[in-house]
Structure 1
Amino acid sequence: METNNGNSAGSSASGKGLGLFRATGIYVGAILGSGVLVLPAIAAKEAGPASLLAWAVLLVFCIPVAFSFAEMSRQQPDAGGIAHFVKRAFGRRASVVAGYLFYFSIPFGAPATAVIGGNYIAHAVGGGRDTAVLAAAVILLAAFASNAVGIMVSSRMQLALMVLLVGLLALAVVLAAPHAKAENFQPFAPHGYWAVGGAASLLFFCFAGWEAVSHLAGEFRNPGRDLRRATWLTLIVVGAVYIGVVAASVAVLGPQLPATPVPVAALLEKGLGSLAAPLTAVAAAVLTFGPINTFVAGASRLGAALAFDGVLPRALARGAGRGQVPAGSLATLAVLTLLSFAAAIAGLTDMQFQIGAASACFTAVTAFGLAAGIRLLRPRTVAWYGVMVAAVVMVAVLLFSGWALGIPLGLAAAAVVVGTLSGRRPDVTPKAGQPEPAGRRQAAAHL
């Protein structure tokens, strides 16, 4: 409790940083992704109307995951995020592995997400491959440009976009509601209730992203208070959006839903006709930009923290102070991401490879963070038991990653080699004129 109070006081005293609503905008942006545009149809094909149960179960499953990361971040806000938690729980070498897994997953995940959004936008406006590639490139560049101007401007932009997005999806549900039919929920489980599990595995990554915000905890104005509140608000908003959109899709589209590639567009068309296409394109752009923006923000700060710890080049530590732009780390991520994007466009890699690699890395990072939570959270509490269950589930999901498991294993091996060659404990003392990463200075005062 002493550490929490110290962190909160230090953050509040500055009068700067992310407030509750901007923090919630970043959280919502990390969780809500382009999957909601297509996955209601895919899940309905797998389990019929019973796919609603899969969405609900995953939402409940998210509660212990979300609050375990929020609680660990609240105790010691640090730009290292999960890598910092893992260091506290298991030591320096394990934390380097966790840091590498998150940082180097961005060049895989960001291009894949942008291309998904670009394809959806091209479909909405009637464009072809060139339109999709251009839209994806614009989304990527916008996310990096947003982070280049600083977290305060970036968070303000994201809050506005999330309000627009939630309003747009709510509009789709309201306009479609008069067309709902009770008989569209029958039969409720045409493929049996066992199929709900298969649908849940498909939907899991619609609920990932809690780990990304942990790297931004040091930017909060009052992390001791606002992390929990932002987590609750995000769960409410995400739950309402997902359940609302999916229930409306089932009730309105019925048997046609599994064959509908753009269910949100179909809902909008019920009330807006030809205006649905441009609104769908806007929704796809925002849903794609949000998670990329948040993950890049978190990873760029993590890279700066890893550079201070001596396991990435020192040049990447520049701009790591609270409210500053980690320019070196951000530029490195931008170059790696654009190279990966170019490789995908040139056909040297494909979407399945990028999505599989990113998913395996994110799953491994989340499992690492949950395992740290078992060590760091107070034993035999509701949160502790919840984290234990979530950790077991995450490890099971990771083992089913197949060939993609080779990517996190390769990054882990590289991290072990680098950590061993560095041959020292992390150096948290910055060079002259360089500030410490956000939150690390506050945490160190209590160690």
Structure 2
Amino acid sequence: MKQKKMGAFGLSGLIIGPILGSGILILPPIVHNIAKDWAILAWALIIVVSFIVAFIFGFISIQFPGDGGATQAIERVFGAQVKRLAAFYLIIGVTFGAAAVLLTAGQYMEKLNFASALTVSYFLLPICTGMLLARINILGKIAFVMSIIAAAVLFLGGAKSLLDHPKSMAIARSFDFSDFSYALLILFWTIFGWEIIGNYSADVIEPKKTITKAIFISIIAISAVNLVVAASIQWTDTSMYGDGGLTITVILYALFGKMSNLIMAVLALFLCSSTYFLYVGGISRLAASLAKEKVLPSLLGKRTKQEVPYVAVIAIVLLNAIVLLLVQVKIFDLEKLVAFANSFLTINALIGILAGIVLIKNKFIKLSGAVLALFIIGMLAFHSSILSIAIIVVLGLYYGYKQMAANRQKVRLASS
């Protein structure tokens, strides 16, 4: 049976919700508390960064279509072993990060006295697995509807909150570079997701046209929601809502009143599920491509009639379940999971950006990408755990050595 492929709206559905993800639920209040009056500028700058990252990975996805995604571009620039290194960084990051996403949804549901966060997370695993095993075009349509609803509610809630209860927009606080740079560092989480697009490039109609259109739709929608929500957190008078702390739920009161907590729980479920679909769906295709190359067991390459790599999906879901068990026995908590996953997702993004800088001819993108790469290196150096750095270094040395050995072998064969 031939796989039905996605159009631009279906692909954008797999982009908008996941990149908004849990970040839009937790970052605006945190960034405002750090940067104060300058928070909105930090959001504006990170949106510019998002355009650069989206362009780089969009270009890579078009030039190197297939399940391997950005890893194929990495192979072209740095060699097969570095490609595999980046792939394993991404797989490790998603193994822990996807579990953290489920826990985030669980925490919002827990506030409704529905069940504990862990119980909700375990409950979501088989549901998400079933959706991931469905036809990719159906998954794209589901994700698109979920993304549109979540984005619309956050946008309208933030806009109404601003109109009904505005505060002065004057900047009363002096600029603090240390606080501002730290806020930017935290906001870097919002750009994760663009590197996964390439893993779906084989599942879309006319990749060049579809991916380009999907990126424009997605970046405009994501930017609008981020700016309105960030502005509403910064310039809405929330004093009438009590002392429950500044949260995203506050900006929905003007639109939904006492229903805001329930609405936020549903939005969290939508956004976090979309993120889970994007990451696990993309990584399962990456694992299948590595199985085809005999880097991973060939069993992981098996697919359904609809071309879904079902064994890889199930394997990753089982790994997510193991991570949730580690949370249950108190080895990890949500904060540690996010921090651990963040290190591997960041180093993978860095390798992809460096490959993009080499391949893309546009000088502005090259310069912007180089500055962004330096920022990422600084973030990794100062904000990664000792365990994550150790794993990154060990894997890097191992695959770096293998790549150098492969290069020496090529030189010997060429000279003989």
Q: What's the TM-score, normalizing by structure 2? A: 0.89
1:394 to 371, 376, 381: 376
Deviation larger for 364-373 or 389-398: 389-398
List runs of 5+ in structure 1 lacking aligned partners.
Answer: 1-13, 426-447
Distance in 2, matches of 1:287 and 1:412, equals: 33
Q: Does 1:281 align with 2:265?
A: yes
Shift of the 345–43 alpha-carbon distance from structure 1 to 2, 3 Å rule, reads: same
Question: Who is 1:106 aligned against?
Answer: 94
- Structure 1 CA distance for aligned equivalents of residues 36 and 194 of structure 2: 28
CA distance 1:94–1:25, change in 2 (3 Å): same
Q: d(CA) in 1 for partners of 2:246 and 2:122? A: 22
| Whole-angstrom CA distance in 2 between matches of 1:255 and 1:48 | 17
Partners of 2:303 and 2:253 in 1: how far apart?
47
Q: Kindly tell me: are residues 255 and 362 of structure 1, through their superposed partners in 2, closer, same or farther at Cα, counting changes over 3 Å?
A: farther
Give the secondary structure class of the aligned counterpart of 2:294: coil
CA deviation vs aligned residue, 1:112-160 (integer Å, no higher than 9, x gap): 121122112222x245xx4322222233333322111131221111011
Percent identity over paired residues? 23
Distance 2:277 2:172 in 1: 38
Q: Report if aligned partners of 1:100, 1:412 keep a CA contact under 8 Å in 2.
A: no
What do the CA deviations read for 1:282-329 (whole angstroms, capped 9, x no partner)?
1111121111110011100000001111110111111189x5110121
After superposition, the Cα gap between the structure-2 partners of 1:193 and 1:260, relative to the gap in structure 1 and judged at 3 Å, is farther
Instruction: Check whether the contact 1:82–1:365 (CA below 8 A) recurs between aligned residues.
Output: no
- Offset at 1:411? 4.3
In the alignment, the residues of structure 1 paired with residue 192 and residue 400 of structure 2 have an alpha-carbon distance, to the nearest angstrom, of: 26
Note if contact 2:162-2:236 (Cα within 8 Å) is conserved in structure 1.
Answer: yes
- Other-structure match for 1:152: 137
Match of 1:338 among 321, 337, 353: 321
1:22 aligned counterpart, secondary structure: helix
Match of 2:152 in 1: 167
Structure 1: how far apart are the matches of 2:92 and 2:230? 33
- Distance, in Å, in 2 between the alignment partners of 1:341 and 1:419 is 35
Once the two structures are TM-superposed, the CA of residue 26 in structure 1 deviates from its matched residue by 0.9
Find the residue that maps to 2:287 and give its secondary structure: helix
Q: Map residues 338-377 of structure 1 onto 2, 5 A cutoff.
A: 338-377=321-360
Following superposition, the deviation at residue 417 of structure 1 comes to 8.7
How much has 1:31 moved relative to structure 2? 0.8
Match of 2:206 among 222, 226, 246: 222
Contact 1:110 1:140 (8 Å CA) reproduced: no
Measure how far apart 1:85 and its partner are: 1.3
Cα separation, partners in 2 of 1:418 and 1:381, compared to 1, 3 Å? closer
Question: Structure 1 CA distance, aligned partners of 2:82 and 2:277?
Answer: 27
The answer as to whether partners of 1:78 and 1:218 remain within 8 angstroms in 2 is yes
Which residue of the partner structure matches residue 39 of structure 1?
Answer: 27
Matching residue of 2:412 = none
Q: Could you say if the C-alpha distance between residues 81 and 202 of structure 1 is closer, same or farther in structure 2, counting changes exceeding 3 Å?
A: same
TM-score under structure 1 length normalisation: 0.83
Task: Say if 1:409 and 1:320 are closer, same or farther in 2 by CA, change over 3 A.
Answer: farther
Measure the CA separation in 2 of the matches of 1:356 and 1:138: 24
Separation (CA, whole Å) in 1 of partners of 2:113 and 2:161:
23
Q: In angstroms, what is the RMSD of aligned CA positions?
A: 2.7
- For residues 46 and 317 of structure 1, do their structure 2 counterparts lie closer, same or farther at Cα, with a shift above 3 Å needed? same
CA distance in 1: counterparts of 2:240 and 2:319, whole angstroms: 41
1:16 deviation in Å? Answer: 4.2
Task: Describe the SS at the equivalent of 1:18.
Answer: coil
**By how many angstroms is 1:226 displaced?**
1.6
Match of 2:14 in 1: 26
Distance in 1, matches of 2:119 and 2:338, equals: 20
Q: Distance in 2 between matches of 1:111 and 1:415?
A: 27
| 8 A Cα contact 2:18 2:272, kept in partner | no
Q: Return 361-370 or 78-87, whichever deviates more.
A: 78-87
Secondary structure in 2 aligned to 1:78? coil
Which of 273, 276, 300 is residue 316 of structure 1 equivalent to?
Answer: 300
Is residue 181 of structure 1 aligned with residue 160 of structure 2? no
Q: Equivalences for 1:22-171 in 2 at 5 Å?
A: 22-123=10-111, 125-126=112-113, 130-171=115-156
Change (3 A) 1:119 1:180: same
Q: Partners in 2 of 1:147 and 1:419 — Cα distance?
A: 34
Which SS does the other structure have where 1:104 is aligned? helix
- For residue 307 of structure 2, give the secondary structure of its aligned residue in structure 1: coil
Q: How many residues align?
A: 404
Tell me if the contact between 1:48 and 1:191 (Cα under 8 Å) persists in the aligned partners. no
Distance 1:303 1:415 in 2: 17
Q: Distance in 2 between matches of 1:120 and 1:261?
A: 15
Shift of 1:74: 0.7
Q: For 1:188-337, what aligned pairs fall within 5 Å after superposition?
A: 188-189=172-173, 192=176, 194-253=178-237, 261=245, 263-319=247-303, 323-337=306-320
1:233: Cα distance to partner?
Answer: 1.2
Go from structure 1 to structure 2 and tell me whether the alpha carbon gap of 1:413 and 1:326 turns closer, same or farther (over 3 Å shift). farther
Counterpart amino acid of 1:51? A
SS in 2 for 1:93: helix
Report the residue type matching 2:359 in the other structure. L
Shift of residue 408 of structure 1? 2.7
* CA distance in structure 2 between the aligned counterparts of 1:418 and 1:306, rounded to whole angstroms: 17
* TM-superposition CA deviations, 1:181-214 (whole Å, max 9, x none): 242x344435635422111111210221101112
Give the distance between the partners of 1:260 and 1:235, measured in 2 at CA. Answer: 32
